[in-house]
Chain A
Amino acid sequence: MLLSIGDRVREGTYCVHSRFDRAVNFVRGGRLVSVVSAEIGAGPANLVVAGSARDFCGAAPRLIIRRGSVTLSDRRHVIRRTPVYRSDLARDEVPGRRFARNFKSLEKWVPQFSNPWNFLLLLDPHAAPGPDLLSRQFARRIRAGAKDMLDGLNNPRRLARGSRLLAGCGFGLTPGGDDFLAGAMMALHLAGNLTNTDYSRAIATIHAAARTRHRLSAHFLGLARDGFVAEPMKNLIGALLHGSAREVRSCGRRVLALGETSGADLTAGFVLMLKSLPATLRGRRQNSGSRGVNPRGASMLLPPCRLDRQEAEFWPPWGEPTGNLKTKARK
């Protein structure tokens, strides 16, 4: 059964790229659609299914998305009434003390999930790299990269150098460094929305430095550049702005549970980048180079991600999303 469909899913015939228990990835040129189980949750290009994604897809080599239907092998699923997940980050109120307090709590909490092979190592003052040379070199490289990137927010050359050191660095199908950079770009989008500051140049620099031929990484980095985020991250942001410390941890756990180390790497990039933007955490508005509308005018409380049939907003996946505040604001 299909539970939800992401707003960045587009019509077409996709070929299988990789299969895991909780996610099966299909690609078409530079586009990607992931069939995922509910534990992973909704995302810009995710089809969320009940039960195991691998079982749902079976051995199907292709995924065909047409107006109103999704076909896997000979099984056709009607999606006319399937809720659509909106993945854009809406503008929000200028953050207050709650945001700063919640962020501090998140920053203090996440390092416990660090290990010698994920990027949370950068947030853990007590972390030691693994005993082998490879782990030590990995730690050295990500520390150097992160320092350059975060110190170089106002220095494009340094920002690019740091991003290049991190891009593609790490283990697994999507290297942890790419997840880290995606998290950093999401943080810049959030900070930009909250403080009405334009970080588009920094985002573009990071994205350009992270250019890769790896289709999955390229896709995720592209979505992060454009400010489209998955449900667990959107919920975490909502909890940081409006929830309690407990809710932050609860939502944080769901982000950390993404992939094998992807969630941890994404969180590391998000937290470290936000930490390097103290003005956002203080709730002050920066004026340098800002553009766009008055955030009060476009203010919208970031809604929790609702995917109930009755409440979910639906538009066909082949059409352009409506009501995207960011698009409106830039016109």
Chain B
Amino acid sequence: MITLGRIKKGAYHDSVSLMRVGKSIAGTDGVAEAALVMGTKSNLGILKASGLLISDFAKATDTDLLLAVKARDAKTAEAALNAAEAALKSKAAAVGTSSGETLPSDLDGAVKVLPGANLALISVAGRYAGSLAMRCLEKGLHVMLFSDNVPIEKEIELKKFAAKKGLLVMGPDCGTAIINGIPLAFANVVRRGPIGIVAAAGTGLQEVSTIISNEGSGISQAIGTGGRDVKKEVGGIMFLAGLKALAADPQTKVILLVSKPPHPSVLNRVRREVRRIRKPVVSLLLGAEGDGPKTLEEAALQAVALATGRKIEDLQDRVGSQSRPRRARGRRKYVRGLFSGGTFCAEAQIILEDTLGQLYSNAPTGRTKRLKDSLKSQKHSFVDLGEDEFTVGRPHPMIDFSLRNKRILAEAADPETAVILLDVVLGYGSNMDPAAELAPVIRTASRKVPVVCSVTGTDGDPQNRSRVVKALKAAGAIVMPSNAAACAYAGNAAKAGGK
């Protein structure tokens, strides 16, 4: 083993960049340890204790960045150091202004840079996002509002204004959309095709669009509206506008509606509008009474059947394909659902409330009760780790698995846990290597309890769904084809464990 290092005079990077680059370098072949730290006395002490201190570092000051690598030979170490420098440079260039790309400082500048643009994606602090969105609408641009914390009064004002001008406001808090085949924000690489989607549920949109694509059909447009759109105050303004837009779109042959539980008044308005449309409409309004699909998977398969002319029975019987549930050892009887997607958490509660009885959640839906403490499960618990209480100060759980990994191990150690239920969401914006982060945790947890999960994504996604599924299965996870199937499996496993 050889240790080599470099001093970058006066270089600075944020701590997360340094840690990520260090971690990725340490994971390369032939590299035993790697560190990227500022040259303070304390850090020199840590490097010494880790066997990463070289004599040159004595010249470093508190404001210098130190790169140290311990590798099997000098060539590997040099290559790792070069890779670390290149990674830091590319990170700086990605956020910097030195790349030569024009970065307009305001909206007028942006419009000048791209005069043909007709959609603005806004991601600024919520208190400023509303007025910026209004300026975009005034310029005739459709808006995707990724920002949250926009006051509801502002949302109503924006949506009313947009509706008058025939424009769309997707959001606030709209995390997913696919417009003209382009995935925006957290979205997947799906085939283009005849099914148009309007969704007031981000991960719900991802689940149905990927199932449709995996079943061989495709998406014409997928319009997100933000979860609050179907509340009484907003009145479903954009949900209805999206529905009308798809009805008028010649490329859309089937319309699929997905939403978390809407307000009854909104539901009635949607139903009235649906009756006027001549195209087939499949609607999954989670938690609403009536006929029609009950899960995201069923809704997606129905849409595929309508679009392709195939019989729904001929489509893969995903829910029925589950194997006999594995029982946890001992008298473990409760399901512990740990979700990164809010819609999945809601769907799990709706699917399992009749099977399991009283459920608890930090984001309760239907008859589910609120958890007293989101950090501590009680009985059958379903935790949405994407809720604000978990995401301020850290990346979303679709990106950063650390919090959920800890919780998985804690739930596995709980003698009452019968089964752990997870979602893994792939696509742009999500963690690029979910299997690598989840596999060690699943391996440990699944020695005590079954870990069942679904993987939302396609083989076209940067992470490649098949590869992720294979790795998770190898780690001991039971991977089901959809969230609904995973929920059904978990419910059966818990019932079997309780006996």
Residues in A lying within 8 Å of B, measured CB to CB:
18-21, 37-39, 50-52, 54-56, 58-59, 109, 112-113, 115, 117, 126, 132-134, 137-138, 140-141, 164-173, 175-177, 212-215, 217, 249, 253-254, 256-264
Q: Which residues of B contact A56 (CB under 8 A)?
A: 105
Q: Are B63 and A214 in contact (CB under 8 A)?
A: yes
In the assembled complex, 14 residue pairs joining A and B whose CB atoms fall closer than 8 Å, in A order, are A38-B127, A55-B103, A112-B375, A113-B393, A133-B50, A134-B50, A167-B42, A169-B46, A170-B15, A175-B43, A215-B63, A217-B62, A256-B393, A263-B393
A51-B124, A260-B16, A261-B15 known; A138+B62 contact, CB < 8 A: no
Q: Are A168 and B13 in contact (CB under 8 A)?
A: no
Q: How far is the CA of A239 from the CA of B45 in the complex (A)?
A: 38
Q: How far is the CA of A78 from the CA of B402 in the complex (A)?
A: 45
Q: Please give the distance in Å from B124's CB to the nearest CB on chain A.
A: 6
B95 at the interface (CB under 8 A from A): yes
B467 at the interface (CB under 8 A from A): no
Q: How far is the CA of A257 from the CA of B96 in the complex (A)?
A: 22
Question: Which residue in chain B gives the minimum CB-CB distance to A217?
Answer: B62
Q: Please give the distance in Å from B189's CB to the nearest CB on chain A.
A: 27
B389 at the interface (CB under 8 A from A): yes
Q: How far is the CA of A109 from the CA of B410 in the complex (A)?
A: 16
Question: Which residue in chain A gives the minimum CB-CB distance to B68?
Answer: A134
Neighbour of B393 across the interface among A19, A21, A264, CB < 8 A: A264
Top 9 A-B pairs, shortest CB-CB distance: A168-B40, A172-B15, A256-B393, A169-B42, A253-B392, A171-B15, A214-B62, A260-B16, A257-B393
B19 at the interface (CB under 8 A from A): yes
B155 at the interface (CB under 8 A from A): no
Q: Are A253 and B63 in contact (CB under 8 A)?
A: no
Q: Please give the distance in Å from A171's CB to the nearest CB on chain B.
A: 4
Q: Are A59 and B125 in contact (CB under 8 A)?
A: no
Q: Are B40 and A169 in contact (CB under 8 A)?
A: yes
Q: Which residues of A contact B45 (CB under 8 A)?
A: 141, 165, 169
Q: Please give the distance in Å from A252's CB to the nearest CB on chain B.
A: 9
Q: Which residues of A contact B38 (CB under 8 A)?
A: 168, 171-173, 175, 214
A165-B42, A175-B42 known; A249+B18 contact, CB < 8 A: no
Q: Are B15 and A168 in contact (CB under 8 A)?
A: no
B51 at the interface (CB under 8 A from A): yes
Give the interface size class of chain B.
35 or more
Q: Are A168 and B41 in contact (CB under 8 A)?
A: yes
Q: Which residues of A contact B46 (CB under 8 A)?
A: 134, 137-138, 141, 169
B26 at the interface (CB under 8 A from A): yes
Question: Which residue in chain B gives the minimum CB-CB distance to A168?
Answer: B40
Q: Please give the distance in Å from A223's CB to the nearest CB on chain B.
A: 18
Q: Which residues of A contact B392 (CB under 8 A)?
A: 253-254, 256-257
Question: Which residue in chain A gives the minimum CB-CB distance to B48?
Answer: A137
Q: Which residues of B contact A20 (CB under 8 A)?
A: 14, 95
Q: How far is the CA of A139 from the CA of B61 in the complex (A)?
A: 23
Q: Are B33 and A132 in contact (CB under 8 A)?
A: yes
Q: How far is the CA of A260 from the CA of B393 in the complex (A)?
A: 8
Q: How far is the CA of A302 from the CA of B207 in the complex (A)?
A: 49
Question: Which residue in chain B gives the minimum CB-CB distance to A124?
Answer: B406
Question: Which residue in chain A gives the minimum CB-CB distance to B413?
Answer: A126
Q: Are B18 and A115 in contact (CB under 8 A)?
A: no
Question: Which residue in chain A gives the minimum CB-CB distance to B15?
Answer: A172
Q: Please give the distance in Å from B308's CB to the nearest CB on chain A.
A: 45
Q: Are B105 and A261 in contact (CB under 8 A)?
A: no
Question: Which residue in chain B gives the minimum CB-CB distance to A138?
Answer: B46
B58 at the interface (CB under 8 A from A): no
Q: Are B19 and A117 in contact (CB under 8 A)?
A: yes
B316 at the interface (CB under 8 A from A): no
Q: Please give the distance in Å from B111's CB to the nearest CB on chain A.
A: 15
Q: Which residues of A contact B390 (CB under 8 A)?
A: 112
Q: How far is the CA of A170 from the CA of B40 in the complex (A)?
A: 9
B248 at the interface (CB under 8 A from A): no
Contact flags B90-130 to A (C-beta < 8 A → 1, else 0): 00000111000001011000000000000000001101100
Q: Please give the distance in Å from A117's CB to the nearest CB on chain B.
A: 5
Q: Which residues of B contact A176 (CB under 8 A)?
A: 15
Q: How far is the CA of A210 from the CA of B253 in the complex (A)?
A: 68
Question: Which residue in chain B gives the minimum CB-CB distance to A118?
Answer: B15
B83 at the interface (CB under 8 A from A): no
Q: Are A261 and B16 in contact (CB under 8 A)?
A: yes
A166-B42, A168-B38, A177-B42 known; A37+B410 contact, CB < 8 A: no
Q: Are B43 and A168 in contact (CB under 8 A)?
A: yes
- The B1-34 residues at the A interface (CB cut-off 8 A) are 12-19, 22, 26, 33-34
Q: Please give the distance in Å from B145's CB to the nearest CB on chain A.
A: 15
Q: Are A133 and B63 in contact (CB under 8 A)?
A: no
Contact flags B148-162 to A (C-beta < 8 A → 1, else 0): 000000000000000
Q: A134-B47, A167-B42, A253-B388 are in contact. List 8 more A-B contacts (CB 8 A).
A: A113-B403, A137-B46, A165-B42, A168-B43, A171-B18, A175-B37, A260-B15, A260-B16
Q: How far is the CA of A132 from the CA of B61 in the complex (A)?
A: 25
Neighbour of A18 across the interface among B12, B37, B394, CB < 8 A: B12
Q: Are A19 and B96 in contact (CB under 8 A)?
A: yes
- The B45-101 residues at the A interface (CB cut-off 8 A) are 45-47, 49-52, 61-63, 95-97
Q: How far is the CA of A32 from the CA of B38 in the complex (A)?
A: 19
Q: Are B19 and A171 in contact (CB under 8 A)?
A: yes
Q: Which residues of B contact A109 (CB under 8 A)?
A: 375
B493 at the interface (CB under 8 A from A): no
B300 at the interface (CB under 8 A from A): no
A214-B38, A256-B392 known; A172+B18 contact, CB < 8 A: yes
A126-B406, A177-B42, A212-B40 known; A38+B125 contact, CB < 8 A: yes
Q: Are A133 and B51 in contact (CB under 8 A)?
A: yes
Q: How far is the CA of A109 from the CA of B374 in the complex (A)?
A: 10
Q: Please give the distance in Å from B182's CB to the nearest CB on chain A.
A: 24
- The B163-197 residues at the A interface (CB cut-off 8 A) are none
Q: How far is the CA of A50 from the CA of B22 in the complex (A)?
A: 34
Interface-central residue, A37, A39, A173, by most chain B CB under 10 Å: A173
Q: Are B14 and A173 in contact (CB under 8 A)?
A: yes
Q: Please give the distance in Å from A217's CB to the nearest CB on chain B.
A: 7
Q: How far is the CA of A126 from the CA of B412 in the complex (A)?
A: 14
Q: How far is the CA of A36 from the CA of B394 in the complex (A)?
A: 19
Q: Please give the distance in Å from A169's CB to the nearest CB on chain B.
A: 4
Q: How far is the CA of A230 from the CA of B124 in the complex (A)?
A: 22
Q: Please give the distance in Å from B413's CB to the nearest CB on chain A.
A: 9
